[in-house]
Amino acid sequence: MRTEDVWIDAPQGRLFARVWRPSDGEAGSPPIILFHDSLGAVSLWRDFPGQLAEAAGRTVIAYDRLGYGRSDPNPHRPGAGFIREEGRISLPALRARLDVDRMILFGHSVGGGMAVAAAAAFPDDVLGVVTESAQAFVEDRTLAGIRDAQKAFADPAQMERLARHHGDKAPWVLAAWTGTWLDEAWQDWSLEAELRRLQCPILAIHGDKDEFGSELHPERIVSQVPAPGEMLLIQDCGHVPHREKADLVLAAVTAFVGRL
């Protein structure tokens, strides 16, 4: 396994990315690009990208969105279109820097929505999409989970843990998550328009005990796409299947990618 850290000059600021290249990968195979969750960063994927690269035999790329991890600070709170805009603004800069033509997109939580939106925006370039614990609409269970997490972050130790990955950007990261999803103006949001424009196959992975969304989300994802859709509901699993049930996720994603 070979890894490489790169910096990307994107329109809104400099982004950090890491690339995992498998020892026995197929040269020229479209890479898998990872979109992290609302509190995520490259470092929080831990060893999953490397495991995925080896299992799938493909290069895996993860990057920190603006305001997260090692990327530049974001001076603004995410706007109403931030899920749709991520793929239109950051992804082209990443592709140019790393010479990515065709690709497979994998998104965790809100990153799943970003992966879907990016695939809808670049239909000729995306072979397939994997969503993991993605939200398709604003559910009471999602909001309750966010409110509980917001209370937990009143503990300084929780903020210290967040700061290990985001530095002094940690308060912004937390506020961007809770402030966006709990805003009254956000309550009518859904991923429906992007799902209906999707032209590539999709695999929707979800844990049956996900504290931030019920199985209605993956059901809606696969039912609304005009392209082939598969759903994997993992038993006894919460919001982070790639950590809690890594073997199942790796097997499912590798099989899905192999069929593309």
pLDDT value, residue 25: 63
Average pLDDT value for residue range 190-199: 96
Q: Is 27's pLDDT higher than 70?
A: no
Q: Is residue 147 part of a domain?
A: no
Q: How many domains does the chain have?
A: 1
Q: Is residue 148 part of a domain?
A: no
Q: Is residue 39 part of a domain?
A: yes
Cα gap 217→220, rounded to integer Å: 5
Average pLDDT value for residue range 108-124: 98
Q: Is 134's pLDDT higher than 70?
A: yes
Question: Which residue range forms the structural domain that includes residue 85?
Answer: 2-136+191-259
Q: Is residue 55 part of a domain?
A: yes
* β-sheet bridge partners, residue 6: 17
Q: Is residue 61 part of a domain?
A: yes
Q: How far from 55 is each of 44, 128, 131, CA to CA, in Å?
A: 19, 17, 18
Let me know: does 7 contact 66? Beta carbons within 8 Å.
Answer: no
Average pLDDT value for residue range 14-38: 90
Average pLDDT value for residue range 138-166: 95
CATH number at 203 reads 3.40.50.1820
Q: Tell me the pTM.
A: 0.97
Q: Is residue 102 part of a domain?
A: yes
* β-sheet bridge partners, residue 62: 18, 34
